[in-house]
Amino acid sequence: MYKIRGEVVEDIQKIKEVNDQAFGQENEAMLVEAIRKSDSFIPDLSLVAETNDGDVIGHILFSLISIETTDGNESVLALAPMAVKPEWQNKGVGSSLVREGLERCKAADYRSVVVLGHPEFYPRFGFVRASTKGIRLPFEVSDEVFMIHELVPGILEGIEGTVRYPEAFSEVE
């Protein structure tokens, strides 16, 4: 059994290990660290899945970014990265992290969440292709991998624009 809770200082090294193991490289853990040091970091929206014996087996991070529209900027959250330890994958931990994460984002009054990720995974949580809402990226990717979730249905109506990622994201490309 495991529970989902907000990160605390003691989790920082364990979160790095989860990301390193899940991705098989260090870039995503570096992204987490860069975001944590930036203004985009929202401590309450960095969540871990922890087993009863204190092992951190999963992590998800939502941070603040913006959509540049013709009228100004719309604040949105970026879901990135998320990771589950290999031996715990395909057991529902990732889905629990997404569901609990989205609930907390909504409870904190955020409006929408974007993700760049597996197109088979995120639609089950209500993510749709961002292009269908007129939301674009400033770089080329396959249309199906860039998705958006309205935390309040219809909240993006009339809003179109291009996502601007903060510097933390480009520091670790």
Chain contacts with ligand COA (rule: CB under 6 A): 22-23, 81-84, 89-95, 117-118, 120-121
Closest CA to 57 of 113, 105, 114, 14: 14
91: tokens are 């057991």
Shortest spacing between CB 100 and ligand COA, in angstroms = 12
Q: Minimum Å distance from CB 158 to ligand COA? A: 29
Q: Which residues lie below 8 Å from residue 45, measured CB to CB, with a gap of 6+? A: 6, 61, 62, 63, 77, 101, 104, 105, 108
Partner residues linked to 7 by β-bridges: none
Quote the least distance from Cβ 113 to ligand COA, whole Å. Answer: 13
Q: How far is the CB of 83 from ligand COA (least distance, A)?
A: 4
CA dihedral 113, 119, 121, 122 (to 10 degrees): 20
**Cα 168 from Cα 4, distance rounded (Å):** 25
Residue 128 or residue 152: which is nearer to ligand COA going by CB? 128
Q: Which residue has the closest beta carbon to ligand COA? A: 94
Q: Residue 79 CA to chain centroid, in angstroms?
A: 1
**123 or 134: whose CB is closer to ligand COA?**
123
Residue 6 vs 92, nearer CB to ligand COA: 92
Q: Which CB sits closer to ligand COA, 21 or 38? A: 21
Please, which residue, 139 or 153, has the CB nearer to ligand COA? 139
> Could you tell me the smallest distance in angstroms from the CB atom of residue 115 to ligand COA?
7
